[in-house]
Chains A and B, each alone.
Chain A
Amino acid sequence: MSRLVVGPFNRVEGDLEVKLDIDQGRVSDAWVNCTLYRGFEQIMRGKPAADALVLTPRICGICSVAQSAAAARALAQLQGCVVPPNGERAANLVQACENLADHLSHFYLFFMPDFARPQYAGEPWYDDTAARFRALKGSAARQVLPARAAFLNLMGLMAGKWPHTLAIQPGGSTRAIQPQERLRIVAILKTFRQFLEQATFGDRLENVADIADLTQLERWQQRHRDSDLGRFLGLSRALELERLGRAADRFMSFGSYAESGTPLLRPGLWDGGWQALDTDQIREDVSCSWLQDSVPLAPALGETRPQADKAGGYSWCKAPRLDGRVMEVGALARQLVDGHPLAEALVADSGGNVRNRVVMRLLELARVLIQMEHWALALEPGEPFYRDGGEPRDGVGVGLVEAARGSLGHWVDLRDGKIHNYQIIAPTTWNFSPRDGDGQPGALELALRDTPVQEGEVDPVAVQHVVRSFDPCMVCTVH
């Protein structure tokens, strides 16, 4: 038995430390330490309600719009806002733009560069993969950065800038789109479609979104080996990435994108099958967090009181649980809960794992961009984008959204128009939580068990695949 400490763990948006016990070439146990505490939940107390729209997006530079949307929804509940159809479409477009840009950054900039590492140099797929995906130097990074920046021009038009916009308000969008701007948005989306269809998929988005089972996925790969998804599926087969990084196989999604107040992607949880989600069953456990002890609390009543010297603490992250159980969130969970046939087939085959998380993230790129084109065409210049809801009344407002990385919740308690308490549970809080009072490890801690470690490896590459397959965002995690 030996112990490894891996850090600084980069390409995870923030700082992360992973402690591993290694036994006979495999991880026997893992502890995940989220190393940065900033104290947003303490900062928010006493602020005017609307300041949440300024401050909470700044929890995270990569999930900024998702934070903003969650804050706007929480306040909208207390204002009784009814967002006009244009406002919903605008918010959908801005949120989707961030989500897809994040998926793109994750795949090309954060996840794939690990397959260009020298330890893979003997593999038959290595030369092509390294030339394509090597960090900073590969042909993909050169191609992806301009494509991503051009896609984010949608934010310039619809949100002023990204990250950190104030365009998403409880009553809709501050930015009414004019007729010529609607056309520019359509052009931006079509340009991004071209990039995905040429580089990422080598195929029509519709064909990718329609892949429904493993046989179809296999056949698709054989016809599109030179696309980036094809390359990934090829090396995934060689490395058996479907056998790596399995967690609890319980998945959750808050549902995403609104039309007439109803989410377009279905909310729910998946535990061998779809079930309704009761968010009242969420509790945050702090037994192994560097936070003052308390019983597990519902987020609306949550507390955040740091205690750096707490015995038994090993992370700044809390441990959220749904009805006492560990949940995995993210694109795989979202598409599975929504009922996408490929997600169901993949999970039936091998559960949540490195391959399945990455495949569903890319499939979501295809699926959501198609939807964005519809929303853009449906924008009606001249019709309202915003409806004033008046001052928020006191009480608890809840904002539940799906960020790129999974389920994000804001719980705000307003008293005398000021923030009395503000609690946030971010996607990676779910995925990278420490153990809870019952000793249950978090999703990543579970997923790391049994991960192979080669003789002499100090930063085991398989561990890196497992960690990055979740697309963690560490700055959101603790906030």
Chain B
Amino acid sequence: MFNLLWLQSGGCGGCSMSLLNAESPDLLTALEVAGINLLWHPALSEATGSEVRTLLQALVDGEQRLDALCIEGAVVCGPDGSGLFHVLSGTDTPMRDWIVRLAARARYVFAVGSCASFGGVSSAGANPGEMRGLQFDGQQPGGALGAGFEPAAAGRVVNIAGCPPHPNWVLEALMSAALGELQAEALDELGRPRFYADHLVHHGCPRNEFYEYKASASRASDGGCLMEHMGCVATQAHGDCNIRLWNGEGSCTRGGYACINCTAPEFEEPGHSYLQTPKLAGIPVGLPTDMPKAWFVALSSLSKAATPERLKVNAHSDHIKVAPKIHPVNKKR
């Protein structure tokens, strides 16, 4: 069996809640078929108090094997570097110190969610909690474990970034580790599994036709593309959110609101209001990934000139007002 310990610190618990949303198979079945033995999870396990303290000590002392350590939430270092903003209850020891000791024993270390990966929302504003990712401070390599930290497997912390991550991002990463297949090459330069991070959230977005013709939504609940006015950065954000869907049939853009790039470091500080696209001379500041600016401007003005009436109308409606024209097939003649 592949022994897994899950701990939570400077976060909201939403990564675990998202994990419980796993379907086909459900979470418990997924862990079972992957041969994963959950040593302890704060939301799911029976053990509490002294039983947990004993387990943690046995892991730190190397008396029990730790194949995977999953940390959810940022590493809490404040105030003034003391770690007192999160002392693991019952232990008089900052959670940060437990994390460092346990990580030294773990074969794989997973940062589950953007807080554990990069600091995330917990590190927003002036970062009053002195929150750090496991191996990043925002975009900068480092973090609580340090850029040089090399766990035995994969050679670096695996960052399952996302706020929250899709349940299957977590389960597939764990399954791959349990099979011994998760290597450094499977991760992008930010340590994220490439199986989801090599896609853009734009891929598979049902608003793509509106995007092509720059038929843009101008207020919430409009059907048009959310990029030009509504703050959406799906064309820059890494994730397969519109390819594998959320809670059945959902995704942020399908929900009618902007992708806010939650898999990226420092998404918590976009430097502008999340729900309004910043522009310079009427042109969105953030351009689609890998797209030269001159071409974007040229293509946009061309496609705007060519926007079909149907898209112009439907972009500003919350339901289809103009249906696509039906072309006669004429095969029989």
Residues of chain A whose beta carbon lies under 8 Å from any beta carbon of chain B: 5-11, 13-17, 33, 35-39, 42-48, 50-51, 53-55, 58-62, 64, 105, 109-110, 113-114, 116-117, 134-136, 141-142, 145-146, 148-150, 152-167, 169, 171-176, 178, 306, 308, 316, 381-382, 384-386, 388, 458-459, 464, 475
Residues of A near B129 (CB, < 8 A) are 37-39
Contact with A along B1-38 (1 / 0, CB 8 A): 00000001111111111101111001111000000001
Q: Are B256 and A38 closer than 8 Å at their CB atoms?
A: no
Binds A, one of B118-126, B186-194, B281-289, B324-332: B118-126
A–B pairs, 29, beta carbons within 8 Å: A7-B49, A8-B49, A35-B89, A38-B128, A43-B124, A58-B121, A60-B13, A61-B13, A61-B16, A64-B17, A109-B43, A117-B46, A135-B46, A145-B22, A145-B28, A156-B247, A156-B248, A157-B249, A160-B250, A163-B17, A166-B255, A166-B260, A174-B257, A175-B221, A176-B256, A176-B318, A178-B319, A386-B318, A464-B48
> Measured between C-beta atoms, what is the minimum distance from B224 to chain A in Å?
12
Q: Are B89 and A153 closer than 8 Å at their CB atoms?
A: no
Apart from A8-B48, A8-B90, list 11 A-B contacts with CB within 8 A: A10-B52, A42-B125, A58-B163, A110-B43, A146-B26, A152-B247, A153-B248, A156-B250, A163-B12, A163-B164, A385-B318
Report the nearest A residue to B122, measured CB to CB: A38
> Measured between C-beta atoms, what is the minimum distance from B333 to chain A in Å?
35
A10 partner, pick from B47, B253, B258, beta carbons under 8 A? B47
> Measured between C-beta atoms, what is the minimum distance from B297 to chain A in Å?
27
> Measured between C-beta atoms, what is the minimum distance from B281 to chain A in Å?
22
Assembly CA distance A169 to B220 (angstroms): 8
Residues of A near B128 (CB, < 8 A) are 38-39, 42-43, 306
Report the nearest B residue to A307, measured CB to CB: B79
> Measured between C-beta atoms, what is the minimum distance from B72 to chain A in Å?
9
Assembly CA distance A7 to B38 (angstroms): 19
Report the nearest B residue to A458, measured CB to CB: B50
Interface check B104, CB cutoff 8 A:
no
Q: Are B220 and A386 closer than 8 Å at their CB atoms?
A: yes
Binds A, one of B60-68, B80-88, B148-156, B169-177: B80-88
Q: Are A38 and B318 closer than 8 Å at their CB atoms?
A: no
Q: Are B89 and A61 closer than 8 Å at their CB atoms?
A: no
Report the nearest B residue to A188, measured CB to CB: B248
B86 partner, pick from A37, A152, A169, A458, beta carbons under 8 A? A37
**A17-B89, A145-B28, A163-B164 known; A136 vs B38 contact (CB < 8 Å):** yes
Assembly CA distance A35 to B88 (angstroms): 7
Instruction: Name the prevailing secondary structure of the B interface residues.
Output: loop
**A142-B28, A176-B318 known; A37 vs B20 contact (CB < 8 Å):** no
> Measured between C-beta atoms, what is the minimum distance from B4 to chain A in Å?
12
Interface check B107, CB cutoff 8 A:
no
Assembly CA distance A446 to B249 (angstroms): 45
Q: Are A58 and B21 closer than 8 Å at their CB atoms?
A: no
Q: Are B20 and A105 closer than 8 Å at their CB atoms?
A: yes
> Measured between C-beta atoms, what is the minimum distance from B258 to chain A in Å?
7
Contact with A along B115-150 (1 / 0, CB 8 A): 000000110111011010000000000000000000
B 159-200 contacts with A by CB, 8 A: 163-164
Interface check B245, CB cutoff 8 A:
yes
> Measured between C-beta atoms, what is the minimum distance from A161 to chain B in Å?
4
Report the nearest B residue to A133, measured CB to CB: B46
Report the nearest A residue to B98, measured CB to CB: A8
Assembly CA distance A178 to B27 (angstroms): 31
> Measured between C-beta atoms, what is the minimum distance from A362 to chain B in Å?
19
**Which of B76, B128, B129, B275 has the most chain A CB atoms inside 10 A of its CB?**
B128
B257 partner, pick from A113, A142, A160, beta carbons under 8 A? A160
B247 partner, pick from A16, A39, A155, A382, beta carbons under 8 A? A155
Q: Are A36 and B9 closer than 8 Å at their CB atoms?
A: yes
Q: Are A152 and B274 closer than 8 Å at their CB atoms?
A: no
**Which of A11, A64, A174 has the most chain B CB atoms inside 10 A of its CB?**
A174
Q: Are A54 and B86 closer than 8 Å at their CB atoms?
A: no
**A308-B84, A464-B48 known; A58 vs B28 contact (CB < 8 Å):** no
Report the nearest B residue to A178, measured CB to CB: B319
Counting contact residues on chain B (CB < 8 A from A), the size range is 35 or more
Assembly CA distance A42 to B130 (angstroms): 12
Residues of A near B21 (CB, < 8 A) are 149, 152, 162
**Which of B8, B40, B42, B318 has the most chain A CB atoms inside 10 A of its CB?**
B318
Q: Are A36 and B76 closer than 8 Å at their CB atoms?
A: yes
Residues of B near A381 (CB, < 8 A) are 319
Q: Are A64 and B44 closer than 8 Å at their CB atoms?
A: no
Interface check B251, CB cutoff 8 A:
yes
Q: Are A174 and B88 closer than 8 Å at their CB atoms?
A: no
| Chain A to chain B: the 7 pairs with minimum beta-carbon distance, closest first | A160-B255, A61-B14, A7-B90, A7-B89, A156-B250, A17-B89, A156-B247
Residues of B near A171 (CB, < 8 A) are 220
Report the nearest B residue to A316, measured CB to CB: B85
A7 partner, pick from B20, B22, B91, beta carbons under 8 A? B91
B 241-291 contacts with A by CB, 8 A: 245-258, 260, 262, 268, 272-276
Residues of A near B257 (CB, < 8 A) are 160, 165-167, 174
**A55-B124, A386-B219 known; A37 vs B247 contact (CB < 8 Å):** no
Q: Are B43 and A10 closer than 8 Å at their CB atoms?
A: yes
Residues of B near A39 (CB, < 8 A) are 85, 125, 128-129
Assembly CA distance A163 to B276 (angstroms): 22
**A9-B48, A58-B163, A166-B258 known; A159 vs B13 contact (CB < 8 Å):** no
Interface check B51, CB cutoff 8 A:
yes
Assembly CA distance A113 to B45 (angstroms): 9
B48 partner, pick from A54, A58, A160, A459, beta carbons under 8 A? A459
Residues of B near A6 (CB, < 8 A) are 48-49, 90
> Measured between C-beta atoms, what is the minimum distance from B219 to chain A in Å?
5
Q: Are A166 and B275 closer than 8 Å at their CB atoms?
A: yes
B49 partner, pick from A44, A169, A388, A459, beta carbons under 8 A? A459
Assembly CA distance A162 to B251 (angstroms): 9
Q: Are A10 and B219 closer than 8 Å at their CB atoms?
A: no
Q: Are B44 and A167 closer than 8 Å at their CB atoms?
A: no
Report the nearest B residue to A17, measured CB to CB: B89
**A8-B91, A15-B86, A475-B12 known; A42 vs B42 contact (CB < 8 Å):** no
**A163-B14, A163-B17 known; A382 vs B319 contact (CB < 8 Å):** yes
Residues of A near B15 (CB, < 8 A) are 61
B221 partner, pick from A146, A153, A385, beta carbons under 8 A? A385
Residues of B near A116 (CB, < 8 A) are 46
**A35-B87, A308-B82 known; A384 vs B164 contact (CB < 8 Å):** no
Assembly CA distance A7 to B91 (angstroms): 7
Report the nearest B residue to A135, measured CB to CB: B46
Q: Are B86 and A176 closer than 8 Å at their CB atoms?
A: no
Report the nearest A residue to B257, measured CB to CB: A166
Residues of B near A156 (CB, < 8 A) are 245-250, 254
> Measured between C-beta atoms, what is the minimum distance from A70 to chain B in Å?
15
Q: Are A11 and B275 closer than 8 Å at their CB atoms?
A: no
Assembly CA distance A153 to B124 (angstroms): 30
Assembly CA distance A352 to B89 (angstroms): 27
Residues of B near A167 (CB, < 8 A) are 255-257
Residues of B near A386 (CB, < 8 A) are 219-221, 318
Residues of A near B246 (CB, < 8 A) are 156, 160-162
